[in-house]
Amino acid sequence: MKFFKLALAAATASVALGGAAMAQEVSLSYNVGIASDYVFRGVSQTNEDPQVFGGVDLGYGIGYAGVWASNVDFGADDPSVEIDFYAGVKPTVGTTSFDFAVLYYGYSKDKGLTPGKYSYTELKAAVVQPIGKATVGGALYYSPKYTGDVGSSLYYEVNASYPLNDKLSLSGALGKQDYEDTDGYATWNVGATYAITGNLGLDLRYWDTAEHGWGDIYKSRVAATLKATF
């Protein structure tokens, strides 16, 4: 685990220094959407109820930062709002794209940008490689103190996507969520995304985990998401 953290820090510093010499261009984008269920790593975050979400993203050269918010439902006395902050860099080497970032998942019952009962921080390292029309990738997410009393965590996945035409694409992922102080679980998803317009997309996705015995929110489900970007 120490090796992973050191490697991520070194890679992030290297690409940040390399990006300083690149021409910079500022961009701003927004997104808003609704979903039949908020599913995160195979688990419902809204107790199988609908989701409303939105975010703002700022780009500057290979760097980016943003904020994103959604309703959540973990129980009667638990948070009802999630607000995430993130920043990172997306360098490319040839045809290979990388993504190194820091993400903070904040919840309405916690105060301040520090880990609380629910809130936590993750480090992300991801890579995407086109192969013909398809793209394949992998990602690692490490948290030194995950939400709850499970210690540190590591989520890792492999993913792929393939465009059937200019509007319709298929994609899927296979991942594993591990915790320091308790058992983890495997998760997977497969679905299709349809571009209704250049700014509006519809995603229909099947999600599942290997731990149906942990409760209904871990069981298989199909979620539809309508998202607008501008």
Q: Provide CB contacts within 8 A for 146, sequence distance 6+.
A: 120, 152, 153, 179
The whole-chain average pLDDT of the chain stands at: 90
pTM, two decimals, is 0.87
Q: Grade residue 15 by pLDDT with cuts at 50, 70 and 90.
A: very low
* Residue-number span of the structural domain to which 168 is assigned: 2-19+26-229
In whole angstroms, give the CA distance from residue 100 to residue 17: 13
Mean pLDDT of 108-126: 79
Got the DSSP string for 175-226?
EEEEESSS--EEEEEEEEEEESSSSEEEEEEEEEES-GGG-GGGS-EEEEEE
Q: Are strands 221-229 and 26-35 parallel, antiparallel or unpaired?
A: antiparallel
Q: How far apart are CA 190 and CA 206, in angstroms?
A: 5
| β-strand partners of 165 | none
The CATH number given to whatever domain includes residue 71 is 2.40.160.40
Mean pLDDT value of segment 59-66: 98
Weakest mean pLDDT among 13-22, 62-71, 130-139: 13-22
How many domains does the chain contain in total? Answer: 1
Q: 4 pLDDT exceeds 60?
A: no
Q: How far is CA 19 from CA 15, 60, 89, in A?
A: 6, 10, 9
Which residues pair with residue 43 across a beta bridge?
40
The pLDDT of residue 13: 47
What pLDDT is stored for residue 109 in this prediction? 76
> Model confidence at 18, in pLDDT bands (50, 70, 90)?
very low
Q: Tell me which amino acid residue 69 is.
A: A
In angstroms, the CA 24 to CA 63 distance is: 9
Q: Tell me: the pLDDT tens digits for 173-208?
A: 999 999 999 999 999 999 999 999 999 999 999 999
Residue 89 clears pLDDT 70, i.e. is over it: yes
Q: Which long-range contacts (CB under 8 A, 24 or more apart) does 195-200 make?
A: 195/166, 195/167, 195/168, 199/228, 199/229, 199/230, 200/226, 200/227, 200/228
Where do the H-state alpha helices sit in the chain?
2-19
- Decide: 125 and 95 in contact? Cβ < 8 Å: no
pLDDT of the residue at 77: 79
